[in-house]
């Protein structure tokens, strides 16, 4: 369990979403520098780990040898493994404690190592080599299956036997804040007519949580489920933008392709797994029982509150259209990773695994416009009399997440993006 009595010497940090119990990792550029480096968020500040590395504050031999914090991504640090992650986290919490003088009383070091978060430029934190998107929320899968098939056959026969997923496109994983252009592609709006080419008319968001792989495994050597926690570095928010009309025409028989590959947005801060351990909870009962390689002893579902805000061009602020929770996942992150590698597939530091759309049991907890508007039949009402069935040009989507402890909060920040008009050739 995290120590809720830990306090930081930085004013306001203990009451912020980025307290000493969190310390999410990111890559940033300070206002007076040109090169990116690794930092952690603490309150309204970013602590520059490259500076601490230069000053010899990390004694773990692998960290000293690799010098990962002056690099432009977190990949090297992710690859060092859990022992190095734990050593760095312990050192950072010691330096930031209210009763530790090393950083608190060293004005010169504070001047070099601490930056106002509002003054830095965030960069893509990871060089994502591979991206996998799962389909692990039973509520979401049942909703979609009910729409496109029927409620009695909403789930495919394999759904409760394995974590369904597909390999996405890593090249189009982008950082929060980057606009998303409405994609163009082939659709078939009239089932009695040939397909047409043009801009997607059914653009959607998908509320997801992603995790990044740490050391990974050699090819042909699966990761046993009991060892998967050692390979899960941390978590971020994911908006897996979807063009439903492109997807609906192309996905049979092989599944998502151009309807998904145009953009996947992630939040800039990666919450370490250690920060979320106090928020592990039991997931839904899995019936039938999974096969042996997917059975785990400990709880690996997380109590993380999630919400989605939608702001149209005429609105002054986002309006909440969805409130749900990460705990609604049927398949856990450990099961996802174990299944991903059971055939001998190798995963590598920085690989991104996303949960798939996270939906809860009630309409206001559905994690996509497809569900919220029930395939466009029940448009979502917004302030000022506007409605939305799917996203329109100029719409701004904001996703947030946080886990609440007794005396502190673990925040994920946000993942945001604005829809730009299509540019079809």
Residue 396 catalytic? Answer: no
Q: Does the pLDDT of residue 253 top 70, yes or no?
A: yes
- pLDDT (average), residues 17-23: 98
What is the domain-level CATH number for residue 21? 2.30.30.230
Give the pLDDT band of residue 2 (cuts 50, 70, 90).
low
Omega within 30 of 0 (cis) for the link into 97: no
* pLDDT of amino acid 34: 83
Domain coverage including residue 46: 13-123
Tokens describing residue 366: 């559905």
Domain membership flag for residue 58: yes
pTM over 0.75: yes
Q: Write the DSSP symbol of residue 31.
A: T
Q: Worst-scoring range by mean pLDDT, 31-35, 110-114, 186-190, 226-230? A: 31-35
Q: Are residues 118 and 136 in the same domain?
A: no
Annotated catalytic residue, options 140, 319, 328, 396: 140
Judge if 349 and 371 occupy the same domain: yes
Residue after which a domain boundary falls, among 86, 103, 123: 123
pLDDT (tens digit, 9 = 90+) per residue, 77-93? 999 999 999 999 999 99
- CA–CA separation, 400 vs 318, rounded Å? 12
Q: How far apart are CA 217 and CA 374, in angstroms?
A: 41
Q: Do 101 and 153 have their domain in common?
A: no
The answer to whether residue 2 is domain-embedded is no
Average the pLDDT over 168-176 and give the result: 98
Q: Mean pLDDT of all residues in the chain?
A: 97
Question: In the 8-state DSSP scheme, what is residue 98?
Answer: T
> What is the distance, to the nearest Å, from the Cα of residue 27 to the centroid of all Cα atoms in its chain?
16
Q: Are residues 72 and 158 in the same domain?
A: no
pLDDT at residue 1, as a whole number: 43
- What is the pLDDT averaged over residues 233-254? 96
Domain contains 4: no
Of 94, 123, 152, at which residue does a domain stop? 123
Residue 63 CB burial class (10 angstroms; 0-12, 13-18, ≥19): buried
Cα–Cα distance between 97 and 363 in angstroms, integer? 43
- Shared domain check, 202 and 73: no
Q: Are 356 and 350 in contact (CB under 8 A)?
A: no
CA gap 62, 97 in Å, rounded: 24
Residues β-bridged to residue 324? 306
Please enumerate, as own/partner, the contacts of 31-37 that have beta carbons within 8 Å and a separation of 24 or more.
31/115, 31/119, 31/120, 35/70, 35/72, 36/72, 36/123, 37/69, 37/70, 37/71, 37/72
């Amino acid at each position: 369990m995290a120590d809720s009595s830990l306090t930081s010497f930085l004013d306001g940090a203990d009451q912020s979403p980025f307290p000493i119990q969190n310390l999410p990792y990111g890559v940033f550029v300070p206002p007076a520098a040109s090169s990116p480096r690794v930092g952690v968020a603490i309150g309204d500040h970013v602590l520059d780990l490259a500076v601490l590395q230069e000053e010899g504050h990390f004694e773990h031999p692998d960290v000293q040898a690799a010098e990962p914090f002056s690099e432009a991504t977190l990949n090297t640090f992710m690859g060092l493994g859990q022992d190095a992650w734990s050593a760095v986290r312990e050192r950072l919490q010691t330096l930031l404690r209210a009763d530790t003088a090393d950083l608190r009383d060293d004005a010169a070091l504070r001047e070099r190592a601490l930056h106002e978060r509002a003054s830095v430029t965030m960069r893509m934190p990871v060089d994502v080599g591979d991206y996998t998107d799962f389909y692990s929320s039973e509520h979401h899968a049942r909703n979609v299956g009910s729409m496109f098939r029927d409620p009695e056959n909403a789930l495919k026969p394999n759904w409760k036997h394995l974590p369904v997923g597909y390999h996405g496109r890593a090249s189009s994983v982008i950082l929060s804040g980057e606009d998303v252009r409405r994609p163009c592609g082939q659709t078939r709006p009239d089932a009695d007519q040939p397909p047409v080419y043009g801009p997607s008319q059914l653009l959607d968001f998908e509320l997801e949580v992603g995790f990044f792989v740490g050391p990974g495994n050699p090819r042909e050597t699966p990761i046993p489920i009991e060892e998967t926690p050692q390979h899960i570095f941390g978590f971020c928010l994911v908006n897996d933008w979807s063009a439903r009309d492109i997807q609906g025409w192309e996905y049979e028989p092989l599944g998502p392709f151009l309807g998904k590959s145009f953009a996947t947005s992630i939040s800039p801060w990666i919450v370490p797994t250690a920060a979320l351990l106090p928020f592990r909870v039991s997931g839904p009962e899995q019936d039938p029982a999974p096969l042996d390689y997917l059975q785990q002893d400990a709880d690996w579902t997380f109590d993380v509150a999630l919400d989605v805000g939608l702001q149209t061009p005429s609105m002054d602020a986002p309006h909440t259209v969805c409130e749900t929770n990460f705990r609604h996942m049927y398949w856990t992150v450990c099961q996802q990773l174990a299944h991903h590698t059971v055939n001998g597939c190798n995963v590598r530091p920085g690989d991104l695994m996303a949960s798939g759309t996270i939906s809860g049991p009630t309409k206001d907890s559905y994690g996509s416009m497809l569900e919220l508007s029930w395939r466009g039949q029940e448009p979502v009402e917004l302030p000022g009399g506007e409605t939305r069935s799917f996203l329109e040009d100029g719409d701004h989507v904001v996703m947030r997440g946080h886990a609440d402890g007794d005396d502190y909060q673990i925040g994920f920040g946000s993942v945001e993006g604005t829809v730009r008009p299509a540019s079809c050739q």
